[in-house]
């Protein structure tokens, strides 16, 4: 048997129109929901693309942070070395302060010795002048003695021949 579509009777017509209206409303709501879901899916796809781009940037930052981590480790090591160098410099500074004190005391002693050496030098200069004067006096006496040598020889000869000194020897 073949089913034939019959025309609805008069009282069933409003029900048919209501059914059609409900079907159209359901279809419109389904279409609107589908369009809304598709638009949300497009937005989510765009956002996922942006998130992917941002994650790529984060990967770059992560690599940079990894390099910075290695640099931080090196800086920590260098900082440790600098702290030990600073401590060594502080010890050396203390030793240099002690040495400076000793050098200052030595400098004072050397200044005192220098003063004594200057006084000695002045006395030696005075002695030198005195010796030069004595030397010139000695040369004068030597000249006088040479000039008197003949006279002394003559007197010695006369004394030797004198009767007063004959028996004295």
pTM, full prediction: 0.40
Give dist(CA 55, CA 61) in Å, integer.
9
**What are the boundaries of each domain within the chain?**
18-145
Determine the pLDDT at residue 157: 76
Compute CA 78 distance to the chain's CA centroid, rounded to the nearest angstrom: 12
Residues 119-151: tens digit of each pLDDT: 999 999 999 999 888 888 888 888 888 888 888
Give dist(CA 120, CA 116) in Å, integer.
6
Q: Which residue has the higher pLDDT, 148 or 88?
A: 88
Tokens of 107: 């400098």
With a cut of 80, say whether residue 90 has pLDDT above it.
yes
Give dist(CA 121, CA 63) in Å, integer.
80
Give dist(CA 145, CA 135) in Å, integer.
15
């Amino acid at each position: 048997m073949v089913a034939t579509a019959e025309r609805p009777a008069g009282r069933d017509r409003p029900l048919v129109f209501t059914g059609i209206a409900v079907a159209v409303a359901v279809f419109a709501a389904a279409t609107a929901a589908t369009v809304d879901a598709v638009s949300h899916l497009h937005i989510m796809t765009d956002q996922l693309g942006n998130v992917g781009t941002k994650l790529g940037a984060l990967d770059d930052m992560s690599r940079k942070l990894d390099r910075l981590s290695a640099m931080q480790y090196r800086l920590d090591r260098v900082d440790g070395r600098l702290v030990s160098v600073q401590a060594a410099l502080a010890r050396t500074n203390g030793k240099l302060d002690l040495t400076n004190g000793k050098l200052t005391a030595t400098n004072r002693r050397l200044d005192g010795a220098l003063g004594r050496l200057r006084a000695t030098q002045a006395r030696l200069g005075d002695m030198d002048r005195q010796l030069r004067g004595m030397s010139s006096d000695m040369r004068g006496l030597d000249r006088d003695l040479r000039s008197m040598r003949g006279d002394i020889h003559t007197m010695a000869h006369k004394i030797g021949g004198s009767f007063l000194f004959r028996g004295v020897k």
